[in-house]
Structure 1
Amino acid sequence: MRDNWRPAMGWLHTWAGLITGWLLCAIFMTGTLSVFREPITHWMRATPTLATSAPPVSTEHAASRAFDYLGRHAAAAQRWRVDLPQRPGEALRLFWSDAAGEQQRAMDPASGALLPRPWGRDTDGGRHFMVFHYSLQAGLTGFWIVGVVSMGMLVALVSGVIVHKRIFSDFFTFRPNKGQRSWLDAHNACGVLALPFLFMITLTGLAIFYSSYMPLPLRIAYGADDGAYERFQQALSEEPASPRRERSGVPAAVPHIAPLLRQARDLTGSEMQMLLLEHPGDSSMVLRMLGSEPDGSTSGSIRNQRAAVLFDGASGVPLQVRKPDPHAHQSVGHATHSVVEHLHFARFGGWTMRWLYFLSGLAGTALMATGTILYLVKRRQKSGGEFGAATARVYRCIEALNIASISGCALACIAYFYGNRLLPVALAERGVWEVRIFLLVWLAALAHAALRPRAAAWREQWSLAALLCLGLPLLNFVTTGQHLGRYALRGDWQAAGVELVALSCGALMIVIARKGRTS
């Protein structure tokens, strides 16, 4: 039994890794990009920069202008939402719903003047990469596929550790230009380098959705109706439930927002970012204020939560206050769930931790890629004819899937950014069309891989992806007039970072296209 143990684990590692590896490459690649989903969304929106006034407009003044406008033009709406500017030159964002549907406008916080529509570009932004990462943009079906593939990932990780006798010594060994040996060395190095991260990110990804993957305990304890999950979360947090109010029909004046903003700042010690008013103009009004997402770089804790204050809209009395205190008391269940979420989403450690997650995600993606390539390199050198007369066709199919899952997915990711800049600004459902471009380019990459010789397909897809990455700053300048220099002058390093990473990826892809032979 001992003699058969390692070969059995080797078989399990090979097939669990290969079958799940194709989707895992795409899942890890998009998950790695989603670490920077806020900067990506900021770059893709490409909102014009307003002239800043001196002295700068206060938050209270800007919020008052927004509420004045909504009071005149959206008095019958069910809800108002105001996003306050977070950077100099940003506009106020106003959202409400009325008989015509969901409405939004941008406003100059200094003058109160409405800005042209659309202000910036309607986009799915970095959220697309996050949604694809956990559901493949395929709804509930994709959600379950990702769950199954993640379990396969754990099987491949555990069996991989068992298979490699000298896994840590192999980490320091790399023999270039040695064919199969080189691919195995690269696979081992990426695996050892990212192993703790890979275990953590896979386990936390599964744990976040435990109530969806194992719904029966939740249904038994809290029922199967629409409010079951909310009751579960309420019990987990042990916090008083937010009041749910129906319209009373009794008119009431919309509160003056400036003093409430000052009060929220005094109560939490944080600046507010978002204002939500339910049932404006009715005595049942509830005003919720949310602070900015905490940076987490100086708190010394994984559990970082944004500040929030809930006011009675009619009287202005605070109903709930949540401070951004990472050491605040929480129930064991809620604290555990919070830690798991923050570990997976990198909501701690600031930008340093996000860069560490990004680099670890790239190493994880390289692990999947080298593993799927290694399978074919080994079989090509010593084929066992395990599929009989169809062996050659099966290998050709695996080759096409390898190419599409690695270089094809990279090509689809950069094409997504190009779609954002090239689609008409006024196009309805622009965000949906951006996602369609991603999926169509990925499908085209699979067709290209199936029709072209293997080496040519790899070279052409990496070369095209490199060209698109290097051309992204030029495209941005031609379509929006914005560029790296302008971003740097106004201190917008999030937008600048997107283009710098694109240029770096383009340079790396040139190296891969020239030297990254897969045979």
Structure 2
Amino acid sequence: MNGGLRASMSWLHTWTGLICGWLVFAIFATGTATVFRHEIEAWTRPSLSARSDPAVGLQRAYDHLLVAAPQATLFGVQATNGQERDMLAFWSNLDGTYGQADLDPATGAPAVDPPTGGGEMFYRFHFELMAPYPFGRLAACLAAAFFASAVVSGVITHKRIFSDFFTFRPEKGGQRAWLDGHNVLGALALPFHLFIALTGIVTLATTFMPFGMTGAYGQDAAAFYADSAPETRGMPERAGKPAVMAPLAPMIATAERELGGKVGRLTVNNPGDASARVSLHRDNQGRLSRPVSGAVFDGVSGRLLAVSPPPGPAMATNDLLYGLHMAEFAGPALRWLYFFAGLSGCGLIASGLVLWTVSRRRKLANPAKPYFGFRLVEVMNVGAVMGLPLAIAGFFWADRLLPAGLADRPAVEGRIFLATIAATIVYSALRPQKRAWTETAWLAAFAFAAIPLLSAATGGRNLAASLAAGDWAMVALDLTLVALGGGFLFMARRAGRVAAPAPRRAARTAAAE
């Protein structure tokens, strides 16, 4: 690391980028997909064709759960909003069992579509990595911190970052072209790359940096969360006296007046009991900040008991940073901007990983037989950069092809997702590096472009029906999948030209030998 600040930052940029690059690419790719997780959720549930008023959906779900879950000690419902089409319900019973279901807003009953991970799977993988709590979240936070340091050190390394923004010379080929592409992608959405990493750490701050919480509350995390939502403090124990629940509609009207916005979430403690409490929380759709604001009612009389106080400065700052990361405030145009910025981040990471091998290959004693560490990086590059897109496409295929009655179907979808990544790594290890890039790119092109056709052939949503119904969200999703397929087709053709030596050059090489 000798040679001054810039040389030290170059070393830091290179090695932090390599060490965390594969994991950060996975987080970025699934995070980019998560921008449209509600549309993906709707694609996986074709029966939910229309959005409904959140208050109406909550009322129907409330009525349904009071009858369908008579032994519940608690149940909750996340209502639909401007993007979602289904409602997520959960409950816990007296015997300690619990459950959850996706409800149809039109009826309040469970949706008729087969169980699926939907867009929620990408969202959960983005920060949990399908790893046990808290290890996945800690790994995601650590990766975000490494990525932020790589971004900052990359800025310091470049003397001419603004001129690099306008310099791309693909005709140069080799290391120069990859470096230009890496620089352009880095400068193109530089503020986004930095703030998305830092706000991502904030969303999991109590997991990654719990010292403030433990310093004030010790190991009593429940007290911390109670103070974070003081209106829910002091929930009574179950009285054991059956009681008729108050109608929900007046409580929703009161909550919306007190909270200054639409209600988006419902929680009922001790339903059907004299001690019942109904908590209604404001929907954060369209809000830059993401506060947890709610109102608590007596579930039997319907009387308002408590309302969230305004958040303090620290909590307000946290809510703002959380909201910036989640982008629930964003309209269609801004969500597309998040999506394309996410794609640029994926390209930045992928080009950096490839650049590591390109810049070192010519220094190898025998490029045809590189040492183990170099070959491992090559294999992992293909496994991460092509394995994640193939796994995402594989999820869509699994959703349409797995039997509807398959036990634990969402978990099987998740295992297929992980198995696709593992299979890509193994395939890359068994094939020459350039051939592995070309062949996996061809496969990804087909896998994405064929998804709309697969959906139509298996009785799901299809582009023609979505156009006829004016369902532009589904039209955009289908066209985006086809466009991704086109992008991988372009990549496959470019990689194929590099992988296959020109006939004259091959002939000269053979003659020389």
Letter in 1 for 2:99: E
SS at match of 1:227: helix
Shift of 1:410: 0.9
> 1:474 aligned to 431, 450, 453, which one?
453
SS at match of 1:480: coil
Paired with 1:159 and 1:75, the residues of 2 have a C-alpha distance of 58
Question: Is the 8 Å Cα contact of residues 404 and 445 (structure 1) preserved in structure 2?
Answer: yes
Q: Which residue of 2 aligns with 1:313?
A: 299
1:202 aligns with 2:197: yes
Deviation at 1:86, TM superposition (A): 5.9
Deviation, 1:342, is 1.0
**Number of residue pairs matched?**
494
**Offset at residue 67 of structure 1 (A):** 5.0
Query: For residue 303 of structure 1, what is the aligned residue in structure 2?
Result: 289
Matched to 1:510, the amino acid is L
Q: What is the match of residue 508 of structure 2?
A: none
- The question of 1:182 aligning with 2:163 is answered no
Q: Which amino acid aligns with 2:151?
A: L
Q: Tell me, yes or no, if the aligned pair for 2:189 and 2:344 is still in contact at 8 Å.
A: yes
**Residue in 1 aligned with 2:216?**
221
Q: Distance in 1 between matches of 2:57 and 2:166?
A: 57
Contact 2:138 2:207 in 1 (8 A): no
**Counterpart in the other structure of 1:426:** 405
Matched ranges for 1:165-314 at <5 A: 165-178=159-172, 179-231=174-226, 233-234=228-229, 239-268=230-259, 270-296=261-287, 302-303=288-289, 305=291, 308-314=294-300
Residue among 124, 138, 150 paired with 1:131: 124
Question: What is the CA–CA distance in structure 2 between the aligned matches of 1:63 and 1:37, rounded to whole Å?
Answer: 21
Q: 1:192 to 1:84 in 2, by over 3 A?
A: closer
The answer to whether the Cα contact below 8 Å between 2:231 and 2:295 also exists between their aligned partners in 1 is no
Task: After superposition, give the CA deviation of every residue in 1:99-124 in whole Å (9 maximum; x if it has no partner).
Answer: 67536585684xx6x97x76113122
Query: For 1:330-369, what aligned pairs fall within 5 Å after superposition?
Result: 330-369=311-350
Q: Which amino acid aligns with 2:430?
A: L
* Uncovered stretches (5+) of structure 2, i.e. residues with no partner: 500-513
Give the corresponding residue for 2:18: 18
CA deviation vs aligned residue, 1:139-177 (integer Å, no higher than 9, x gap)? 222322223322322232222122211121121111113
Task: Give 1:190 deviation, angstroms.
Answer: 0.5
CA contact (8 A) 1:254 1:281 kept: yes
Structure 2: distance between partners of 1:212 and 1:495: 36
Q: How much does 1:321 deviate? A: 4.1
- Amino acid of the structure 2 residue aligned with 1:456: R
Where 2:72 maps in the other structure, the secondary structure is coil
Partners of 1:292 and 1:306 within 8 A in 2: no
**Residue 143 of structure 2 corresponds to residue 149 of structure 1:** yes
TM superposition shift of 1:347: 2.8
Give 1:90 deviation, angstroms: 6.8
Answer whether contact 2:27 2:125 (CA < 8 A) is retained: yes
Q: Is the 8 A contact 1:487 1:496 kept in 2?
A: yes
Give the distance between the partners of 1:212 and 1:262, measured in 2 at CA.
36
Q: CA deviation at 1:293?
A: 3.8
Note if contact 2:379-2:428 (Cα within 8 Å) is conserved in structure 1.
yes
Deviation per residue, 1:438-493 (Å, 9 max, x gap): 10010000000000111211111111111011111111112234212322343433
Quote the residue 2:28 is aligned against. 28
User: Could you say which residue in structure 2 is the equivalent of 1:38?
Assistant: 38
Q: What secondary structure, in the 3-state scheme, does the structure 1 residue paired with 2:305 have?
A: strand
In the superposition, relative to structure 1, how do residues 172 and 310 fare at CA in structure 2: closer, same or farther (>3 Å)? same
Q: Deviations over 1:232-279 (max 9, x none)?
A: 635xxxx54444121112332211233334444444564444443221
Report the secondary structure of 1:311's partner residue.
strand
- Name the amino acid aligned to 1:252: A
Structure 2 distance, partners of 1:83, 1:330, is 22
The equivalent residue for 2:154 is 160
- Residue 102 of structure 1 aligns to a residue whose secondary structure is strand
The question of whether the paired residues in 2 share the 8 Å contact of 1:47 and 1:121 is answered with: no
In the alignment, the residues of structure 1 paired with residue 54 and residue 128 of structure 2 have an alpha-carbon distance, to the nearest angstrom, of 38
Distance 1:8 1:64 in 2: 60
Please report how far the alpha carbon of residue 58 of structure 1 lies from its aligned counterpart in structure 2 after TM superposition: 8.3
- Report what 2:99 is aligned to: 102
- CA–CA distance in 2 between the matches of 1:480 and 1:394? 47
- Call closer, same or farther: CA 1:245–1:492 in 2, change over 3 Å: farther
Say if 2:114 is the partner of 1:121: yes
Partner Cα separation in structure 1 for residue 40 and residue 348 of structure 2: 25
1:94/1:454 CA distance change after superposition, 3 Å:
closer
Deviation larger for 312-321 or 408-417: 312-321
Unaligned runs of at least 5 residues, structure 1:
297-301, 323-327
> Which residue of the partner structure matches residue 504 of structure 2?
none
Give distance in 1, aligned partners of 2:22 and 2:306: 47
Letter in 1 for 2:45: R
RMSD: 3.3
Q: Given residue 181 of structure 1, which amino acid in structure 2 is its aligned partner? A: R
Summarize deviations over 1:272-311 as a string: whole Å, max 9, x none. 4444322122111111234444224xxxxx2255774321
> Which protein, 1 or 2, shows the higher relative CO under an 8 Å CA cutoff with sep ≥ 6?
1
For residues 468 and 386 of structure 2, what CA distance do their matches in structure 1 show? Answer: 35
**Structure 2 counterpart of 1:457:** 436
In the superposition, the TM-score normalised over structure 2's length comes to 0.86
- Judged with a 3 Å threshold, the aligned counterparts in structure 2 of structure 1 residues 101 and 343 are, in CA distance, closer, same or farther, namely closer
Residues 222 and 231 in structure 1, CA contact (< 8 A), matched pair in contact too = no
| Deviation of the 1:362 alpha carbon | 0.8
Equivalent residue, structure 2, for 1:325 = none
Alpha-carbon distance in 2 for matches of 1:61, 1:135: 33
User: The residue matched to 1:277 in structure 2 has which SS?
Assistant: strand
Question: In the aligned structure 2, how far is the partner of 1:421 from the partner of 1:499?
Answer: 14
Call closer, same or farther: CA 1:201–1:48 in 2, change over 3 Å.
closer
Check whether the contact 1:194–1:363 (CA below 8 A) recurs between aligned residues. Answer: yes
